[in-house]
Chain A
């Protein structure tokens, strides 16, 4: 086979996200989640802590969370253009789906018809879950479309 054309001068990104990048992203997500869960437990166990310390513990997961987002952006940059499109469409689907579910729950709650599990609509954990579910469905559907 002839040499592949070098993409650097053309602005077309390479095709694949490496396993190392996936592991890196998942690693930062795991650290963020672990710090969030441990932080919640600590705050419940130590209500006597000063407000400053409580704020510090609460905000600790932000830093690995930022690294997680940066690693996602890094992965996005090395995708080829179709994969980028699939990801973008999936994120739009996730955002729209989450907004719709959240709006439905809020309207139901406002009229006294809310679900017992969600008395205050989707909380932050629910938003993450809904976004992840809609994103997964979005990736599946758009991959089918471009298969």
Chain B
């Protein structure tokens, strides 16, 4: 699954640790999601969507 998490994060000038703290997950988790090595759970994806005020399908797209 592709995602634009890095794009959204850097647009707000947050570090991976900053984003991890806001979502209550580790920096490693954020990095693994950004690099496409790990797909987040649905609850975490919803938290991201709420944080960035975007629908989930805007952040995550199938493929890749």
CA A124 – CA B51 in complex, angstroms?
A: 49
Q: A1 near B43 (CB under 8 angstroms)?
A: no
Apart from A12-B43, A83-B26, A143-B28: 19 A-B pairs, beta carbons within 8 A: A1-B18, A1-B21, A4-B21, A4-B22, A4-B23, A5-B23, A5-B51, A12-B23, A12-B25, A14-B24, A15-B25, A80-B26, A81-B25, A81-B41, A82-B28, A82-B29, A82-B32, A146-B32, A147-B32
Which residue numbers of A lie inside 8 Å of B, CB to CB? 1-2, 4-5, 7, 10-16, 80-83, 85, 143, 145-147
Measured between alpha carbons, how far is A116 from B23 in the docked complex, in Å? 54
Q: Are B24 and A13 in contact, CB atoms less than 8 angstroms apart?
A: yes
A127 CB to closest chain B CB, in angstroms?
31
CA distance A115 to B20 in the complex (A): 50
Using C-beta atoms within 8 Å of the partner chain, give the interface range for chain B. 20 to 34
Q: Given A11-B43, A12-B41, A146-B32 in contact, is the A82-B25 Cβ separation under 8 Å?
A: yes
Interface pair A85/B50, CB less than 8 Å apart: no
